[in-house]
Amino acid sequence: QVQLVESGGGLVQAGGSLRLSCTASGGTFSSYNMGWFRQAPGKEREFVSAFNWSGGVTRYTDSVKGRFTISRDNAKNTVFLQMNILKPEDTAVYYCAADDRGYTYIITGIPAYWGQGTQVTVSS
């Protein structure tokens, strides 16, 4: 019964920045790998970024490398996604995801737990 709640979405102009937050409850946060996915209208949900807490390893999809940064605060049970130099093609609902089985479940897009999503809209 892990719950994930995202926040920080909104409307921003191209080139701007947003910081997404995902707060977890109902589990031991430090044991979970965390990640972010996004889904635009008419498209499949796609992997964006993930954080492997045990090794401190991060991964990003090619389209966001150099622009997005994932981070984690275990004391606050929160994972963040700092998004810079946003582009219109970044427009999507962004979903937080978590899994305690292993890092692979996050990066392959089949995590155990999902948040409800937060809308990010980037205008040109």
Name the residue among 72, 80, 74, 70 with its Cα closest to residue 30.
74
Taken as a whole, the chain contains a residue count of 124
**Per-residue pLDDT at 55:** 67
Sign of CA dihedral 110, 101, 80, 26: positive
Rg, Å, the chain Cα set: 13
Q: Where are the alpha helices (DSSP H) in 1-124?
A: 103-107
Q: What is the spatial distance between Cα 47 and Cα 26, in angstroms, rounded to a whole number?
A: 24
pLDDT digits (tens, 9 = 90+) for 20-50: 999 999 877 777 888 999 999 999 999 999 9
Location of structure tokens 């040109």: 124
pLDDT digits (tens, 9 = 90+) for 49-78: 998 777 678 999 999 999 999 998 888 889
* Single-letter residue type at 97: A
Residue 119: is its pLDDT beyond 80? yes
Higher per-residue confidence, 122 vs 52: 122
Number of CB atoms found within 10 A of residue 15's CB: 11
Number of CB atoms found within 10 A of residue 89's CB: 11
